[in-house]
Amino acid sequence: MIDNNRMIAKAAIKASDIILKKEVFSDQPRFTIMFLLYLNRKIGTVELQRLLELTPGNLDHHLKTLEKANLISIKKKITWRPLNVVIITTEGIEAFRNYALHLKELLKDIF
């Protein structure tokens, strides 16, 4: 009985987590940022800004949303110029993989 309750609680947490992550990924720039990070693990904010054609403020907003959801971390890197590097977290990799699988299922229904 206790085990059953635990399993139900775990499933509920997982479901709410998926809903939360789906909300985070529903936005086009955030989805693209996560896609790029899923493939390359890290990317500079300057490159992201140019790729996504976003203003610095707009990019910052999307990055903060992803950081708050614990999907990415931002680190300062000192090279010949100061650079902020966005790195995907282990949780981010897992969440994006699950979301990609969910998308795959959705798209399978369309075709």
Partner 1 sequence: MQELQKVNEALIVVEKYSDYLARKAWGKTLIIWGIIVPIGLILYFSSPSLSVLFDMDKNIFSALVSFMIVFIGIGITLFNFLSASRVLKTKNNRSVSSPKESGTHGIVIGFIWFFLFLLASIIPEPYSVVSTIWAAGLAIIISFLLLKYFFHDAFPELILVGIILLVASLPLLIIAVIDGDLARLATVVVFSISFLAGGFYSYTEAPKILSRTE
Place of tokens 């693990």: 41
Q: What is the strand order of the sheet 72-78 is part of?
A: 42-44, 82-88, 72-78
Closest CA to 84 of 40, 31, 48, 39: 48
Q: Determine if 101 is a binding residue for partner 1 (CB under 8 A).
A: no
Q: Determine if 51 is a binding residue for partner 1 (CB under 8 A).
A: yes
Q: Minimum Å distance from CB 43 to partner 1? A: 8
Q: 3-class secondary structure for 45-69?
A: HHHHHHHHCCCHHHHHHHHHHHHHC
Rounded to a whole number of angstroms, the CA Rg of the chain reads 16
Q: Which span sits near partner 1 by CB under 8 A: 7-15, 51-59, 62-70, 82-90?
A: 51-59
Q: Which span sits near partner 1 by CB under 8 A: 9-17, 61-69, 79-87, 101-109?
A: 101-109
Q: Which span sits near partner 1 by CB under 8 A: 33-41, 60-68, 71-79, 87-95?
A: 33-41
Contact residues for partner 1 (CB under 8 A)? 28, 31-32, 35-36, 39-41, 43, 47, 50-53, 103, 106-107, 110
